[in-house]
């Protein structure tokens, strides 16, 4: 009898232990997933292929001391062939995205104004590229970021191919590592802008430049043919 009682008691202990383990597992699964931060992700060099001679630990310390800045830029989603459009980008470590957007809107730039928060360094490079576009940098692409005033970049963009084109806007941090002897570039912003290019400008330019030829070759003969069709036929 004692052996049977001991066996029952051991079974109760195992059952209680199993129940406790199930409760702990269920409570762990019911926990809410961690909230993702909306702050910009700071780039890390831990998994990057570094050039020979780069002090990775020093570069990570530089990245850990980065600050967050705001940018705003105008996006022109529809362009006319061979017509030039200014694209303007503002960066500030102090102002909000909304403040920079309002400044661009007040300057009456064509298109809509977009913005974002990015990680910035004391020296930044902004580039605008795209196949089928003639792009001229009005300001230097690599600039020192001011802590007090806006840092701005401007480009003149002229589409050369009709149809759908893509502009590519990037910002990169220029980091001085190894006591400034080796600059290192890390991209902190990348945006593709889809642009519809129409024939409006080229067609209107052709008509305005060749209206005399069009009048003599097309308008006058067609008008004469229509007039002859409307005149009543003479009776024999």
CATH superfamily of 56-201: Immunoglobulins (2.60.40.10)
The residue assigned the tokens 């009709």 is 162
What is the distance between the alpha carbons of residues 213 and 110, in angstroms, rounded to a whole number? 35
pTM metric for this prediction:
0.63
Domain layout of the chain by residue ranges = 56-201
Within 8 A by CB and 6+ apart from 53, the residues are 178, 182
What is the pLDDT, as a whole number, of residue 33?
Answer: 42
What average pLDDT score do residues 85-111 get? 95
- Using pLDDT thresholds of 50, 70 and 90, give the confidence band for residue 234: low
Task: Write the pLDDT tens digit of every residue in 158-214.
Answer: 999 999 999 999 999 988 765 554 567 889 999 999 999 998 655 555 555 565 665
Q: CA-CA distance, 42 to 39, in Å (whole number)?
A: 9
Output the DSSP codes for 13-30. Answer: HHHHHHHHHHHHHHHHHT
Residues 6+ apart with CB under 8 A from 137: 128, 153, 154, 155
Give the residue with greater pLDDT, 41 vs 205. 205
pLDDT in tens, 142-156: 999 998 999 999 999
- For residue 32, the surrounding DSSP H or E stretch is none
> What pLDDT is attached to residue 184?
75
């Amino acid at each position: 009898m004692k052996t049977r009682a001991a066996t029952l008691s051991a079974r109760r202990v195992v059952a209680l232990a199993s129940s406790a383990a199930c409760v702990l597992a269920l409570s762990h699964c019911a926990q809410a997933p961690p909230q993702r931060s909306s702050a910009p992700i700071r780039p890390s060099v831990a998994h990057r292929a570094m050039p020979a001679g780069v002090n990775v630990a020093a570069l990570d310390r530089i990245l850990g001391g980065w600050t967050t800045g705001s940018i705003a830029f105008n996006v022109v989603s529809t362009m006319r062939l061979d017509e030039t459009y200014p694209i303007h980008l503002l960066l500030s470590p102090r102002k909000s995205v909304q403040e920079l957007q309002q400044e661009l809107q007040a300057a009456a730039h064509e298109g809509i104004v977009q913005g974002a928060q990015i990680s910035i360094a004391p020296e930044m490079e902004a580039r605008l590229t795209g196949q089928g576009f003639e792009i001229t940098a009005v300001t230097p692409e690599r600039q020192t970021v001011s802590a007090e005033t806006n840092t701005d970049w401007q480009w003149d963009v002229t589409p050369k191919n009709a149809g759908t084109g893509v502009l590519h806007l990037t910002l990169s941090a220029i980091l001085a590592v190894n006591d400034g002897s080796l600059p290192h570039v890390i991209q902190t912003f990348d945006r593709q802008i889809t642009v519809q290019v129409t024939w409006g400008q080229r067609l209107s330019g052709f008509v305005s430049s060749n209206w005399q030829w069009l009048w003599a070759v097309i308008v006058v003969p067609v008008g004469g043919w229509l007039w002859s069709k409307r005149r009543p036929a003479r009776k024999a």
